[in-house]
Amino acid sequence: MHTEEKKLQFDTPAIMGILNVTPDSFYTGGQAWDCEAILQKAENMLADGASILDIGGMSTRPGAVEISVQEEIDRVVPIVEQLQAAFPKALLSVDTYRSKVAESAIQAGAGMINDISGAQFDVDMLPLIAHCQLPYICMHVVGDAQTMHQHQIQGNIMEVVTQYFIKKIEELKAAGIHNVILDPGFGFGKTMAQNYAILNHLSSFLSLQKPLLVALSRKSMIYKPLGIDVAHALNGTTALHMVALQNGAKLLRVHDVKEAAECIQLYQNLQSE
């Protein structure tokens, strides 16, 4: 992956390393997040093969407490500033659905916005992205910030998500936003069967001609069927990453960069044969 005129080109699958600066994330790898620890984690991720660092200041796991916009800014912006200073060549993404957080992060040096709401939760997000012309990750989700995990999706999940993406791409294009990455939203208001149906048929989204991000690292669709907890879900994550790559994923959003990089390397070896 490389950037040119702020447009991402996924010549080979790339890795986005997750940097949660929240006290209640579903998985932090057992580390207490302070600034020094985050900088060290970022350095390790970049050395292990991450091209993008995704900074999140508010957990979106089921049952997470919603914090104020200012608190989210206070968590995210100092980290973006320090990461930008320490690693100026790294592409910094901010995981937020709030336009004011996104705007502050962009001013601090963020070069991508990862919006789980697909611009549904904040009407000012699209004008901001259109003005800045940054890469934008658009995730599939149903409901609002309070109900997105409770909403049950009826009907054929692939048809539902595909139609959502078609509508969103048109909406983004009309706003002048073309540099879009699609995320099917594993675990967001979807049943176990729906999550696996999306993964199994991921390649059907390739017809939309947008890069696909897969974010299933250590999620419950992995550890619940195995009867384990999130701390032991790395092996299952790697197994499903290979499936995602074979089905067209171009960006893996992960907690464990080294293992994801190894998976991509072996995937590429398979492709070369």
Residue 146, token pair as written in the block: 């309070």
In the three-class reduction of DSSP (H, G, I as helix; E, B as strand; rest coil), residue 182 is classed as strand
Active site residue 253: yes
Q: Which of 41, 218, 250, 253 is catalytic?
A: 253
219 is catalytic: yes
Give me the numbers of helices (H) and strands (E) for the chain, helices first please: 9, 10
Tally of CB atoms within 10 A around 248: 15
Alpha-carbon distance of 263 to 238, in angstroms, equals 7
Element spanning 91, H or E: strand 91-95
Full DSSP string of 105-144 = HHHHT--EEEETTTT-S-TTHHHHHHHHT--EEEE---S-
The HSE-up count of residue 15 (CA atoms within 13 Å, CB side) is: 25
Catalytic residue among 41, 75, 218, 219: 219
Q: How far apart are the first and last CA of the chain?
A: 22
For the stretch 186-208, what's the b/e string if a residue is b when 16 or more beta carbons lie within 10 angstroms of its beta carbon? bbbbbeeebbbbbbeebeebeee
Three-state SS string over 6-55 comes to CEEECCCCEEEEEEECCCCCCCCCCCCCCHHHHHHHHHHHHHHCCCEEEE
Q: Which residues are catalytic?
A: 219, 253
